Amino acid sequence: MNKNLQLIDLIYPQSRTVSIVGTAKNAGKTVTLNEIVHQGEQRGITVGLISTGRDGERRDVLTDTEKPPIFVSRGTVLATVESAIKSDFAGIEILRVTDYHTPMGRVVLGRTREAGYVEISGPHSSATIRELCREMKQYGAELILIDGSLDRRASAAPFVSDGTVLATGAALSRNMQQVIEKTLHIINTYAIPTVEDENARDAACEAFESGRTALVEADGRVQYLETLTSLQCGGMISEKLNPDTRYVVLSGSATVETIKDILLNKKSSFEIVVKDPTRIFIPAKDYPILQKLGMVLRVMENINIIAVTVNPYSPEGYYFEPEELLNRMRIAVPHIPVYDVVQGE
Amino acid sequence: MLLDHRTRKLLELDRVLAELHPITPFGQQVKSEMKPYLPPEKAELMEELDRVEKLKELVDTQRSVFVEIRTAMRQVKDIRKSVERCMTGCVLSSVEFFELKNLVYLVRIMSESQKTLHWAMPDKYIIQELQWVEEILDPEKTGLKTFYLYDSYSPELYRLRKQRAEAEQKLDLLRKEVIKRVEADLEMAIRTNGEITISKGQTELIKKLQGYRYLLVINETYINMTFRVKPTDEMYKLMSAIEELRGEEAVEEARILEQLSGKVAVRGAEILRTMDAMGEFDLLTAKAYLANTFEAVKPEIRDEPVFNLKQGRHPIVEAGLKKRGKDYTPINASLKEGATLITGANMGGKTVSLKLLGLMAAMAQYGLLVPAESLVLSMQAFIFLSAGDEQSIDLGLSTFGAEIQSIKEALEKSDRSGMILIDELARGTNPQEGFALSAAIISYLMKKPCITVITTHFDGLVKPGVKHLQVNGLRNIDCSRIKNPEHISEYMDYTLIEIEGDAVVPRDALNISRLMGVPEEIVKTAEELLGNGR
């Protein structure tokens, strides 16, 4: 990897909407976000900021004891909340007051009139986030950064953002090897191959649209099933499997239970298709078992991981040797650039 | 009260009103408070109907103006709470000023459009421009919809911000200078945030940096030590000056918000009035649009008790038929005080026609145009409908008990000018007693000042002084041509015709039973029992 390449060079202008997702609380997401904002501003890019709703991570702001952690320059477009438009933060020109409510007031689109700290906010649903991203672009934002909350990796979904920067670090585990393995698992899940067969893709689109399950057979015949809750859909799907089944399209989530139900009843080999990797909820430890049962997972669209950032510090008071963590992560994911934004490398 | 809850439900008035779509929160509120006009308010009702008719005509001729107004209306938010709060002396927030500024902008669009309408509208509907608010909230006259406490709000704010910006710029320069000097002294690169992290393995270097006067230790772990470039005295001075300025700026901003709030509060009532006018105009426009959808006309209001309907249509039933690709047969009916009977074939739409009469009267008194070719009517003090109704039966009354209960209520009202509609009088008891009771009730009501309409199957209730309307029904149809019971409605003539003198109630029950597939044996037997094997 070219050592002189900065994070921003990997992001812009190839991607215009990028989500920053943390593998754990305090994995370094905010540092990463600040760094990208800073690098973007130095290149003269108008940045837009939005978050996938508060997740209580920054309780300090609720009690008004600390400044919000993102520092931006004048002219930044952002989604913030009513209560954060006050004199101790950067002055914000209000562009539009939206109808999305948060515990901190309504979500407001604004533009900073001076450099300073800002509070980023946003609606919960990914469809509305996408809508607001479009609007921020109209207000002049050239690069939109989505601050993805822990429990809302959906912001990484390909239909919301063009790519994702994954922030990971010591906060994920006390054991460095585990940090690397867990991170690798997320990366591998995000990179699951897409389904190629056109016929299966058409059926999948139809299934996602109507919220049904689709079974595609070798001759192209498609059977749609009304599967109301994904919790019990495994059993329903199992009954319909036959020796010609080639694809099972799940419109909901891929959970261990559902997939087990399906695989234990398989009468042929087939691929299981979900919309995108954010719909996959399979812990690393269950993967090998499911693979032995014959699981072949495919997605309609996978997630473009632009870079990984590592944070060697944990707020619980332990650290890893920064160089070692960085190097081992680079070896583990040779195809993705890895940065230590805390150390500035 | 014009309508009791049950009548309102049976007439499906709420479903008609649900088709009335005001756009703004104010219009929706005015709609929710809508009340029918009562006889003493005849003049007001006539004015209202004139206005709706006028607006309906304008919607046709100046549609683009309405499109513009309604587009603006869709963006309006209810900020009455903010304005009211402001008027009690509270200070509004930046977000509230933004919303007010937006409202003013939308008001201007609506007001300008309204002025182009060819109508000398009453004050109540005029959306007054709030030019003065615009002057307060857009001192630079930028025409932008955004809000910020711009520097131009006060010279003091401008001065404070300028000073702070200058101080910040100077501080930034000094910081860069110091970093540069440190980098030169140490021959090491320092990060842009002025920090440098050194591994503890480099003990010599750490010792050196700890002794260096321009660096501070800010963080230490068992692996690393992080230093930050120490600000100079001049920088510290600037930093505290910036904090000071920030504080003064916050005070000045609060002062400006208070001042703006005060200016708005003084004339807050004008803003509230504008929102009220918007609500009134919104609802009136919605009524005009509804009249267009229903192809409705203005009813003519008379003093003497009269009800003359030409080609009236029940809008809800009509819409339902239209969905299934069928047409609604318009109904004529001319009623007067005293009793009118509607007789006719089963499945001939007697009940729907009865409800239509009540609905027309109710719509007119709610200030709505009516779906008909024409309607001349007097205003009613009440409209009362007694018809098959599950609710009373739920209360533990039998079918007959429930009916008699409601008819008793109607009779109590019959001395006032009103409308009493009874579906299938005395349907719930034996024919002999039912007939006698019906005849007695008709005799009683025919002398009363209210307009009574009763549907019945009984023969012989018509007598001099009682008007008689009959459903045309299957009269002119050869029943053997109808092969499928679902086609009955296609051959059914729902028209009401006025019958003079004696007339028997048409006998279609057996024909229809046969069409619907009741075994021939039974229908035959029934015909033999009637002794008229037709």
Find the CB nearest B148 among A87, A94, A344. A94
Say if A313 is an interface residue toward chain B (CB within 8 Å): yes
DSSP classification of residue B528: H
Query: Using CA atoms, how far apart are residues A36 and A16, in angstroms rounded to an integer?
Result: 13
Query: Using CA atoms, how far apart are residues A304 and A200, in angstroms rounded to an integer?
Result: 22
Query: Using CA atoms, how far apart are residues A213 and B44, in angstroms rounded to an integer?
Result: 61
Nearest to B335 by CA among B461, B192, B485, B445: B445
Any domain includes A344: no
Instruction: Say whether pLDDT at A10 is over 90.
Output: yes
On whether both A219 and A315 belong to a single domain, the answer is no
Q: What is the mean pLDDT of residues B36-51?
A: 96
DSSP classification of residue B533: -
Say if A67 is an interface residue toward chain B (CB within 8 Å): no
Nearest to B360 by CA among B331, B327, B326: B331
On whether both A57 and A171 belong to a single domain, the answer is yes
Cβ distance A152 to A52 under 8 Å?
yes
How many Cβ atoms from other residues are within 10 Å of residue B326's Cβ? 12
Find the CB nearest A91 among B148, B197, B221. B148
Instruction: Find the closest chain A residue to B201 by CA distance.
Output: A321
Instruction: Say whether pLDDT at A1 is over 70.
Output: no
Instruction: Say whether pLDDT at B294 is over 50.
Output: yes
On whether both B376 and B430 belong to a single domain, the answer is yes
Any domain includes A238: yes
Instruction: Indicate yes or no: CB of B95 within 8 angstroms of CB of A108.
Output: yes
Bridge partners (DSSP) listed for residue B408: none
Task: Tell me the CATH number at A217.
Answer: 3.40.140.80
On whether both A159 and A56 belong to a single domain, the answer is yes
Number of domains in chain A: 2
Which residues have CB under 8 Å from A218's CB, separation 6+? A244, A246
Task: Tell me the CATH number at B261.
Answer: 1.10.1420.10
On whether both A313 and A268 belong to a single domain, the answer is no
On whether both B114 and B184 belong to a single domain, the answer is no
Chain A residues near residue B250 by CB distance under 8 angstroms: 87-88
Query: Using CA atoms, how far apart are residues A104 and B95, in angstroms rounded to an integer?
Result: 13
On whether both B461 and B365 belong to a single domain, the answer is yes
Question: Out of B175-184, B196-205, B277-286, B494-503, which region has the weakest mean confidence (pLDDT)?
Answer: B494-503
Kindly report, residue by residue over B344-374, the tens digit of the pLDDT. Answer: 877 778 888 999 999 999 999 999 999 999 9
On whether both A122 and A35 belong to a single domain, the answer is yes
- The torsion of the CA quartet A176, A180, A182, A185, rounded to 10 degrees, works out to -170
CA A39 to chain B, closest CA, distance in angstroms equals 11
Q: How confident is residue A59, by pLDDT bands cut at 50, 70 and 90?
A: very low
On whether both A79 and A167 belong to a single domain, the answer is yes
DSSP classification of residue B506: P
Cβ distance B31 to B286 under 8 Å?
yes
What's the confidence (pLDDT) of residue A345? 56
On whether both A114 and A209 belong to a single domain, the answer is no
CA B128 to chain A, closest CA, distance in angstroms equals 24
Q: What is the mean pLDDT of residues A235-247?
A: 87
Choose from A148-157, B222-231, B241-250 the range with maximum mean pLDDT.
Answer: B241-250
What's the confidence (pLDDT) of residue A344? 65
Question: Out of A148-157, B288-297, B298-307, B318-327, which region has the weakest mean confidence (pLDDT)?
Answer: A148-157
Cβ distance B488 to B374 under 8 Å?
no
Which residues have CB under 8 Å from B226's CB, separation 6+? B195, B196, B197, B198, B217, B218, B219, B220
Task: Tell me the CATH number at B363.
Answer: 3.40.50.300
Backbone angles phi, psi at A81, to 5 degrees: -115, 155
On whether both B67 and B187 belong to a single domain, the answer is no
What's the confidence (pLDDT) of residue B532? 54
On whether both B93 and B219 belong to a single domain, the answer is no
Mean pLDDT over all residues of chain A? 86
Any domain includes B286: yes
Kindly report, residue by residue over A293-345, the tens digit of the pLDDT. Answer: 999 999 998 889 999 999 988 877 788 888 899 999 999 999 999 998 877 65
Cβ distance B165 to B158 under 8 Å?
no
What's the confidence (pLDDT) of residue A57? 44
State how far the alpha carbon of B221 is from the alpha carbons of A312, A339, B199, B212, B383, in Å: 11, 20, 9, 20, 86
Say if A38 is an interface residue toward chain B (CB within 8 Å): yes
Top residue of A6, A38, A83, A94 to mutate, by most chain B CBs within 10 Å, is A94
Chain A residues near residue B191 by CB distance under 8 angstroms: 344
What's the confidence (pLDDT) of residue A122? 87
Any domain includes A115: yes
Any domain includes A1: no
Any domain includes B2: no
Bridge partners (DSSP) listed for residue B378: B302
% chain B with pLDDT above 70: 95
Chain B residues near residue A322 by CB distance under 8 angstroms: 223-224
What's the confidence (pLDDT) of residue A327? 94
**Which run of H or E residues covers position B248?**
helix B233-266
Say if A256 is an interface residue toward chain B (CB within 8 Å): no
% chain A with pLDDT above 90: 43
On whether both B93 and B198 belong to a single domain, the answer is no
Q: Give the three-class secondary structure for B307.
A: strand
Q: Give the three-class secondary structure for B422.
A: strand
Q: What is the mean pLDDT of residues B301-322?
A: 92
Kindly report, residue by residue over A107-126, the tens digit of the pLDDT. Answer: 999 999 988 889 898 888 88
Q: What is the mean pLDDT of residues B73-78?
A: 94
On whether both A145 and A46 belong to a single domain, the answer is yes
Instruction: Find the closest chain B residue to A93 by CA distance.
Output: B148
Instruction: Indicate yes or no: CB of A91 within 8 angstroms of CB of B224.
Output: no
Number of domains in chain B: 3
On whether both A98 and A219 belong to a single domain, the answer is no
Q: Which amino acid belongs to residue B384?
A: F
Say if A93 is an interface residue toward chain B (CB within 8 Å): yes
Find the CB nearest A321 among B95, B165, B223. B223
Any domain includes A107: yes
Nearest to A69 by CA among A6, A16, A20, A130: A20
What's the confidence (pLDDT) of residue B269? 95
On whether both A40 and A52 belong to a single domain, the answer is yes
On whether both B192 and B127 belong to a single domain, the answer is no
What's the confidence (pLDDT) of residue B509? 78
Any domain includes A308: yes
On whether both B162 and B141 belong to a single domain, the answer is no
On whether both A293 and A324 belong to a single domain, the answer is no
On whether both B376 and B389 belong to a single domain, the answer is yes
Instruction: Find the closest chain A residue to B102 by CA distance.
Output: A96
Any domain includes A148: yes
Instruction: Say whether pLDDT at A60 is over 80.
Output: no
Find the CB nearest B95 among A91, A94, A343. A94
Chain B positions contacting chain A at CB under 8 Å are 77, 93-95, 98-99, 146-149, 161, 165, 168, 191-192, 197, 221-224, 246, 249-250, 253-254
Say if A159 is an interface residue toward chain B (CB within 8 Å): no
Instruction: Indicate yes or no: CB of B93 within 8 angstroms of CB of A106.
Output: no
- Three-state SS string over chain A comes to CCCCCCHHHHHCCCCCEEEEEECCCCCCHHHHHHHHHHHHHHCCCCEEEEECCCCCCCHHHHCCCCCCCEEECCCCEEEEEHHHCCCCCCCEEEEEEEEEEECCEEEEEEEECCCEEECCCCCCCHHHHHHHHHHHHHCCCCEEEEEECCCCHHHHCCCCCCEEEEEEEHHHCCCHHHHHHHHHHHHHHHCCCECCCHHHHHHHHHHHHHCCEEEEECCCCEEEECCCCCCCHHHHHHHHCCCCEEEEECCCCEEHHHHHHHHHCCCCCCEEEECCHHHEECCHHHHHHHHHCCCCEEECCCCCEEEEEEECECCCCCECCHHHHHHHHHHHCCCCCEECCCCCC
Task: Tell me the CATH number at A21.
Answer: 3.40.50.300
Find the CB nearest A85 among B94, B191, B192. B94
Give residues 112 to 151 of A whose Cβ lies within 8 Å of B.
Answer: 113-115
Q: What is the mean pLDDT of residues A50-73?
A: 61
Domain housing B178 = 155-235
Any domain includes B325: yes
What's the confidence (pLDDT) of residue B397? 63
Instruction: Find the closest chain A residue to B252 by CA distance.
Output: A87
Domain housing A153 = 7-191+303-339
Q: What is the mean pLDDT of residues B145-168?
A: 92
How many Cβ atoms from other residues are within 10 Å of residue A72's Cβ? 23
Mean pLDDT over all residues of chain B? 89
CA B244 to chain A, closest CA, distance in angstroms equals 12
Which residues have CB under 8 Å from A257's CB, separation 6+? A231, A234
What's the confidence (pLDDT) of residue B77? 93
Q: Which amino acid belongs to residue B23?
A: I
Burial class from Cβ neighbours inside 10 Å (0-12, 13-18, 19+) for residue B465 reads exposed
On whether both B352 and B431 belong to a single domain, the answer is yes
Cβ distance A154 to A52 under 8 Å?
yes
Q: Which amino acid belongs to residue A284?
A: A
Any domain includes A345: no
Query: Using CA atoms, how far apart are residues B52 and A303, in angstroms rounded to an integer?
Result: 58
Cβ distance A23 to A186 under 8 Å?
yes
On whether both A163 and A178 belong to a single domain, the answer is yes
Cβ distance B70 to B285 under 8 Å?
yes
Q: How confident is residue B67, by pLDDT bands cut at 50, 70 and 90?
A: very high
Chain A residues near residue B93 by CB distance under 8 angstroms: 82, 85
Instruction: Indicate yes or no: CB of B99 within 8 angstroms of CB of A97.
Output: yes
On whether both B460 and B377 belong to a single domain, the answer is yes
CA B182 to chain A, closest CA, distance in angstroms equals 18
What's the confidence (pLDDT) of residue A64? 42
State how far the alpha carbon of B99 is from the alpha carbons of A184, B96, B263, in Å: 48, 5, 16
What's the confidence (pLDDT) of residue A56? 44
Kindly report, residue by residue over B383-409, the tens digit of the pLDDT. Answer: 999 887 555 555 556 777 878 888 888
What's the confidence (pLDDT) of residue A166? 94
A and B: number of Cβ contacts within 8 A:
49
On whether both B285 and B334 belong to a single domain, the answer is no
